[in-house]
Chain A
Amino acid sequence: MKKSLKLGLGAALAVALSAASGFAENVKIAFIDPLSGPFASTGTNGLHQYEFAADYMVNQNGGVLDGRNFEIVAFDNKISPKESLIQLQVAIDQGIRYIAQGNSSGVANALTDAIDKHNRRNPDSRVLFLNYAAVDPALTNDKCNFWHFRFDANADIKMDALTDVIVANEDIKKVYIIGQDYSFGKAVAAAATKFLGEKRPDIEIVGNELHPIGKVKDFTPYSRKINASGADAVITGNWGADMLGLGKSVIENGFEGPIYTYYAAGSGITAAFGDTGKGRIRLISQGGINPIASEEARAAYNAFKEKYPEGNIDQSRIFNVIGMLAQAIEGAGTADDVVEVAKQLEGMEYESMWGGKVFMRPQDHQLIQDMNVGVHTDENIEFDYDTSGYGILTESTIEMASMDSATTCKMRRP
């Protein structure tokens, strides 16, 4: 009984695993991010942007290497490191050589480690890791490897840019730092303390604390403390429900200063903040959306809107990933030898349609790009988030942020 069942299920397994392989012509990129569960909305939005960018930038222009198209293959990792490693293995078995992932630095750490080991142990099926959103500084410092490329600015670079804006505001004398109790929250707090201390030692840090990640039901007690501390501004790295909860609670309970943060746009958060957050939330991002950086970008955004009326381009760097990968593959003349492609990516300079030139720093594979600080508002917004009428208006731009920042990366090249 057990045997036949096992064999039957085994057959189903074989069918399921082989069903997806087939077209050898396409250059396949595995998209490993959450497509179900609590973080599914971020993952699904990212997937749409990848599919659109591949189609719009590459396939509609005749593909790469004489007509090979880009194909995005989606894998649901349920934001679990374990599931990500299984899906990585499935992707490699399907002959995929490019892995894109971004949500959660924990998953990125697991993947970069596993890919490094895999490439060492299996030199004939090596893969590249295109990290488009995981910002833990360690990934391009202590844990860097030749196969990992980061297309987003890391938490330190973002904080460097953000503090530039904060110190320029003479009204801010006291800041309160609050974040989630894990590697990223701690990295944000450490960077904020360091940069504020260097740039304006007169700013007093009146609070620096961590709260459990994803477990806080009510942020009111924290808002009370922030109020009581007399802070002029709040700095936080929170994202998702923690960002929404903290932001709303702080504003509703009487805090009147600005909130400087990383992730407070899109995926329903902009709509949920609505009028409450107007002019109060300032966030750091790359890519100019309002005002739009170029006509090319406007056309791309409108085409995207036509396809996904409810969607947003909230991660314009995905277009840089696709554009730079296409350029690297053309330069290398091959899509299958990832070492050659990686060598092309290293040190690549690329004109982004979202504004400015970007540069893939060869010593740590960290992309250097312009950073924007914008404000949550409904005025002068051409492209809003969540069809709410509210969006992010760029207030200042830091060109080629942290171009010369130090790195502890000791890259081992094959």
Chain B
Amino acid sequence: MTEDFATDPTKPAQRLRAGSLTIPLIPWLIAGALVIVMPLFFQANSAITIMNQMAITIIFALAYNMLLGQGGMLSFGHAVYMGVGGFATVHIMNMSDFFAMLPLPVMPIFGGLVGMVLAMIVGSFSTRSAGTVFAMISLGVGELIAACSVIIVVFFGGEEGISGDRTYGLPFFGIEFLQQIEVYYLIAFWLMVSAALMYLFSRTPVGRMANAVRDNPERAEFLGYSARWVRFYSFVASGFFAGIAGALFAINYEILTEENLNLTTSGLILLVTFLGGAGFFFGPVLGAIVFTLVQTVLSLETELWGFYAGILFVATVMYFPGGLAGLIMMHVPALRLGKAGRLIVPYLKTLIPGLFTVLGASALIEMIFHYRHAAVGDDEMTLFWTSFDSHSALPWIVAIAVTVVGFWLTKKTAPDMAAAWHDANSPDGGAA
């Protein structure tokens, strides 16, 4: 996507172009086309289920970023808006007479409205101030509603949650949504619609004022805007889209549980958004894709996925506070100067050994884990498509050697990369 909506929170003042309600067409068309053709490449039901999960997380993360990135509001309890929207959707699915009159694809509107109403109620007192007060109120409210899920069994169904059946709705042009692929296109449609709406929202005067209130509420107030109401509108809009994500969750999984409301889910969406990059509109999209892959696919491969996820988050926040999107957008100046090509060779020189360092280190971790926890006599382990004996010296030597040599090469070539980076970002024939 293009750079014209990039507001980097680490830099205080950036001149914004006047908000116009247009969409830069090319990136959106590419994204749309990609969404349509993806199932042709991945036809397995499980791959489609994982893509559905990604799409739902993307909508939720984008909705969350309306608060965090665009409004500067840190919420610790945003899962409840998605969760309650989803619960309401399942309840509607279970009202068989009413549900039989509605086609399934309109259900997300109901989920969104419920999420919005809840956000209006909570927002009426929580958006009075930003910062820590807002964050702690969101934590408290989140914890209260999550705790209610096991107490108020009538609505939340207790620990086992409530389930419904999506196929009892009015057939939609003959489609009954029996197959995952049909659900995929339903979710994909709502993904594109919600993403476009959220993008447009960020371009409206309210969306722009949210940025202003984030950066300097006092000045915004002097200009005659009520910071509180600007925050309120962002919050309500975010609740609406979170509710849509919840409804899509209900459609995809046909069950909602306490898990959809609890603090872990709220915390994860914060991490996902930040991992992708809160400063860019498309950041949460990247974060959602990467995190879903880590959580669902990496966990098929290793029990230690949580450990790697933790390292990924800590490393991101320490070295790339702009997230993955920030990392990508860092290269825009070099591209503009037409000197991005000069980065390729130094990058390869440093990053390939770097990659080997990471692989070597993770191999060591896996081997230690296997050595300590595997059954007696079960010495064989498989790593990176090779099987070997974890109790013999050779694999350890190889792993240590790869790690050490990789690290040494990375360290040695790092200054060259930094120099190349500097060179690529300085206009020719003048001081930077």
Interface, chain A (partner B; CB < 8 A): 1-3, 5-6, 9-10, 12-14, 16-17, 19-20, 35-37, 40, 48, 75-76, 78, 80-83, 85-87, 89-90, 92-93, 105-106, 109-110, 113-114, 117, 121, 136, 181-184, 212-213, 215, 306-309, 311
Instruction: Check if B46 is an interface residue, CB within 8 A of chain A.
Output: yes
Q: Would you list the 5 A-B pairs with minimal beta carbon distance, nearest first?
A: A182-B159, A90-B46, A93-B46, A109-B160, A89-B46
Question: When the two chains form their complex, are residues A81 and B44 in contact, meaning their CB atoms are under 8 A apart?
Answer: no
Chain B neighbourhood of A181, CB < 8 A: 150-151
Instruction: Check if B289 is an interface residue, CB within 8 A of chain A.
Output: yes
| Shortest Cβ distance from residue A4 to the other chain B in the assembled complex, whole angstroms | 11
Chain A neighbourhood of B1, CB < 8 A: 2
For A105, the closest partner residue in chain B by CB is B160
Give the number of A-B contacts (CB < 8 Å): 143
Q: Which of B45, B159, B299, B377 contacts A78 (CB 8 A)?
A: B299
Q: Using A14-B47, A36-B299 as known contacts, list a sample of 18 further A-B pairs with CB atoms less than 8 Å apart, ordered by residue number in A.
A: A2-B27, A9-B290, A10-B41, A13-B50, A82-B260, A83-B296, A85-B253, A86-B46, A86-B53, A86-B296, A89-B49, A93-B46, A106-B159, A110-B160, A113-B255, A182-B158, A183-B160, A307-B376
Question: When the two chains form their complex, are residues A121 and B179 in contact, meaning their CB atoms are under 8 A apart?
Answer: yes
In the complex, what distance in Å separates the CA atom of A164 from the CA atom of B299?
44
Question: When the two chains form their complex, are residues B289 and A212 in contact, meaning their CB atoms are under 8 A apart?
Answer: no
For A21, the closest partner residue in chain B by CB is B44
B residues 48-62 in Cβ contact with A at 8 Å: 49-50, 53
Instruction: Check if B138 is an interface residue, CB within 8 A of chain A.
Output: no
Interface, chain B (partner A; CB < 8 A): 1, 27, 30-31, 34, 38, 41-42, 44-47, 49-50, 53, 147, 150-151, 158-161, 163, 165, 167, 178-180, 249, 253-255, 257-260, 282, 285-286, 289-290, 293, 295-301, 303-306, 328, 375-378, 385
Chain B neighbourhood of A311, CB < 8 A: 375
Question: When the two chains form their complex, are residues A10 and B42 in contact, meaning their CB atoms are under 8 A apart?
Answer: yes
Given A9-B293, A12-B293, A182:B46 Cβ within 8 A:
no
Given A78-B299, A212-B150, A86:B50 Cβ within 8 A:
yes
Question: When the two chains form their complex, are residues B259 and A80 in contact, meaning their CB atoms are under 8 A apart?
Answer: yes
Q: Which of A6, A14, A182 contacts B289 (CB 8 A)?
A: A6
Question: When the two chains form their complex, are residues B161 and A81 in contact, meaning their CB atoms are under 8 A apart?
Answer: yes
Question: When the two chains form their complex, are residues A306 and B299 in contact, meaning their CB atoms are under 8 A apart?
Answer: no
Question: When the two chains form their complex, are residues B50 and A113 in contact, meaning their CB atoms are under 8 A apart?
Answer: no
Chain A neighbourhood of B260, CB < 8 A: 82
Q: Which of A5, A13, A89, A93 contacts B297 (CB 8 A)?
A: A13
| Shortest Cβ distance from residue B343 to the other chain A in the assembled complex, whole angstroms | 14
What are 13 inter-chain pairs, A to B, with CB distance below 8 A?
A9-B290, A14-B47, A16-B300, A82-B253, A83-B295, A86-B50, A90-B46, A93-B44, A113-B254, A113-B255, A307-B377, A307-B378, A308-B375
Question: When the two chains form their complex, are residues A309 and B293 in contact, meaning their CB atoms are under 8 A apart?
Answer: no
Chain B neighbourhood of A2, CB < 8 A: 1, 27, 30-31, 282, 285-286
Question: When the two chains form their complex, are residues A37 and B255 in contact, meaning their CB atoms are under 8 A apart?
Answer: no
In the complex, what distance in Å separates the CA atom of A176 from the CA atom of B206?
58
Q: Which of B30, B180, B375 contacts A307 (CB 8 A)?
A: B375
For B373, the closest partner residue in chain A by CB is A44
For A308, the closest partner residue in chain B by CB is B375
Question: When the two chains form their complex, are residues A13 and B160 in contact, meaning their CB atoms are under 8 A apart?
Answer: no
Interface centre among B34, B259, B385 (most CB of A within 10 A): B259
Question: When the two chains form their complex, are residues A17 and B46 in contact, meaning their CB atoms are under 8 A apart?
Answer: yes
Given A90-B46, A307-B377, A35:B255 Cβ within 8 A:
no
Given A2-B1, A14-B47, A110:B150 Cβ within 8 A:
no
For A111, the closest partner residue in chain B by CB is B255
Given A81-B255, A86-B50, A114-B254, A5:B44 Cβ within 8 A:
no
Question: When the two chains form their complex, are residues A6 and B293 in contact, meaning their CB atoms are under 8 A apart?
Answer: no
Interface centre among B31, B253, B306 (most CB of A within 10 A): B253
Question: When the two chains form their complex, are residues A36 and B259 in contact, meaning their CB atoms are under 8 A apart?
Answer: no
| Shortest Cβ distance from residue A388 to the other chain B in the assembled complex, whole angstroms | 19
Question: When the two chains form their complex, are residues B290 and A35 in contact, meaning their CB atoms are under 8 A apart?
Answer: no
Question: When the two chains form their complex, are residues B300 and A20 in contact, meaning their CB atoms are under 8 A apart?
Answer: yes
Question: When the two chains form their complex, are residues A36 and B45 in contact, meaning their CB atoms are under 8 A apart?
Answer: no
Question: When the two chains form their complex, are residues B303 and A110 in contact, meaning their CB atoms are under 8 A apart?
Answer: no
In the complex, what distance in Å separates the CA atom of A109 from the CA atom of B45?
21
In the complex, what distance in Å separates the CA atom of A254 from the CA atom of B305?
43
In the complex, what distance in Å separates the CA atom of A367 from the CA atom of B44?
35
Chain B neighbourhood of A80, CB < 8 A: 259
Given A86-B53, A89-B45, A93-B46, A106:B178 Cβ within 8 A:
no
In the complex, what distance in Å separates the CA atom of A23 from the CA atom of B300?
18
| Shortest Cβ distance from residue A179 to the other chain B in the assembled complex, whole angstroms | 12
Question: When the two chains form their complex, are residues B147 and A212 in contact, meaning their CB atoms are under 8 A apart?
Answer: yes
